[in-house]
Structure 1
């Protein structure tokens, strides 16, 4: 009996366990909707490229982000336990939710109301509570409904974090959501591409900042050792902006680092080409890498 013809071959990533289908690749043509798997793949690529061994930076997979977005908010003990149980079950591979206090930044691709956006969880030592930044490439008619999707996801994420670590402080002030002005799409197809663009710009910026901070920290320790003075316990002690008045937060250099301006963005069609190069580079046998 003849065997059935083989289906289209999936592309196997060499850098981390992940496969993509030919339809995922085809979806990167202009005017097509980028698939869940392409976004998932690229977020894992960003983690591998910039923060491979750094647990402070987390990229939450699409299936977990979808769960957080689609599950109705239930603040009862059972509701939170059920939500956390389901999220943790999906988190078996990436292990990105288990130690929330170690997380400085988490990227969540949000899909709701037929639209993609990026939600960023930001938790910093010099701020008493975390905050969420929402980057939406279509702030017109989708703003109200899609912002509500993001708010549902952030509250459910905080519930999961609280369930996984009882020492996490959660209050209504923790639910702060800042809708950021950011580059906008000019058609109905590029929202998924913009979710990749935003994550790329912020990841590259954070990696550079982290590298500079690590180098400065090492320098401070070396100078302290030479002068026989005790080393600083952590670098943030010298760079904290917590003493500044709240009304001056907009001038905080740390906040400026989270602004994405038009000049920072990549044209969506160029981003699609770049994503194709990343995919072929990561799934081919040669060792070449894509650069942007």
Structure 2
């Protein structure tokens, strides 16, 4: 569903295309509070980064691939046939991909573990960050191999063994989101062009509980802003039934 339509579904057609956005269900919010993050949770976070962070760096050529697109890349029988469904990578320098361990081609929301693949197109390296040891090693290697075919370049796969590790069975998606933001902002967007950037995360500490609270706070703030804009609309209190002409 196009972005404008998703905005309208939640906040009403009176919002402009640049209005605050929200594309989450009640189940998604419940998962974000207590459980394993859904595709929608991670897609929302990527969209937030794209609209709140990336616009401040106009020269950046970075793609945050949605979980659904990573799933398509992983499951398509013919990689070349899905090229038109993926973003144009021609001038892209880096690509973030949330990797899921689902092997069911019929269920994009299946699987039980998330990890993060960061591909440096300019360096031809795929960095894999897995908060549960090497649980997604096979899936990440497959994802890098398939993306390599789409890009038409070889990619050297590098498992980041110093990735922060989760302490339970449900925080993997949260780790993906926080690692993505940290790598995007601290390692890529604010990097000095004259210095070699380390992609190690050995000293990074992730507070998963605090991260969930922060993400929920962002969502609530956007929801309130959407309600404020909706209430300010001249059509907010009008009847949904069109007037009858006698």
1:105 is the counterpart of 2:94: yes
- How do 1:2-151 residues align onto structure 2 when only pairs under 5 Å count? 11=10, 15=19, 18-30=22-34, 32-52=35-55, 53-54=58-59, 56-71=61-76, 79-84=78-83, 88-89=84-85, 91=86, 97-98=87-88, 100-112=89-101, 114-124=112-122, 127=123, 130-139=124-133, 143=134, 146-151=136-141
- How far residue 26 of structure 1 moved from its aligned partner, in angstroms, is 1.1
- Partner SS, residue 158 of structure 1: helix
- Partner SS, residue 120 of structure 1: strand
- How far residue 275 of structure 1 moved from its aligned partner, in angstroms, is 0.6
1:207 is the counterpart of 2:189: yes
1:285 is the counterpart of 2:225: yes
1:269 is the counterpart of 2:216: no
Preserved CA contact (<8 Å) 2:113 2:136 = yes
Q: 2:158 aligns with which of 175, 178, 181?
A: 178
Count of aligned pairs between the two proteins? 202
State the distance in 2 between where 1:54 and 1:60 align: 18
TM-score by length of 2: 0.73
State the distance in 2 between where 1:103 and 1:287 align: 36
Q: 2:173 aligns with which of 192, 195, 201?
A: 192
Preserved CA contact (<8 Å) 1:69 1:150 = no
- How far residue 265 of structure 1 moved from its aligned partner, in angstroms, is 3.0
Root mean square deviation, CA, Å: 2.6
State the distance in 1 between where 2:53 and 2:224 align: 21
Q: 2:150 aligns with which of 160, 172, 175?
A: 160
Deviation track 1:123-149 (CA, whole Å, cap 9, x = no partner) reads 23xx4xx1100000000xxx2x62111
Gap change, CA 1:200 and 1:81, over 3 Å in 2? closer
- Partner SS, residue 37 of structure 2: coil
Unaligned runs of 5+ in 1: 1-9, 73-78, 92-96, 163-169, 214-235, 240-252
Preserved CA contact (<8 Å) 2:117 2:127 = yes
Deviation track 1:71-92 (CA, whole Å, cap 9, x = no partner) reads 35xxxxxx343232xxx23x4x
- How far residue 15 of structure 1 moved from its aligned partner, in angstroms, is 4.9
- How far residue 266 of structure 1 moved from its aligned partner, in angstroms, is 2.8
Gap change, CA 1:54 and 1:19, over 3 Å in 2? farther
- How far residue 22 of structure 1 moved from its aligned partner, in angstroms, is 1.2
Preserved CA contact (<8 Å) 1:118 1:195 = yes
Gap change, CA 1:82 and 1:266, over 3 Å in 2? same
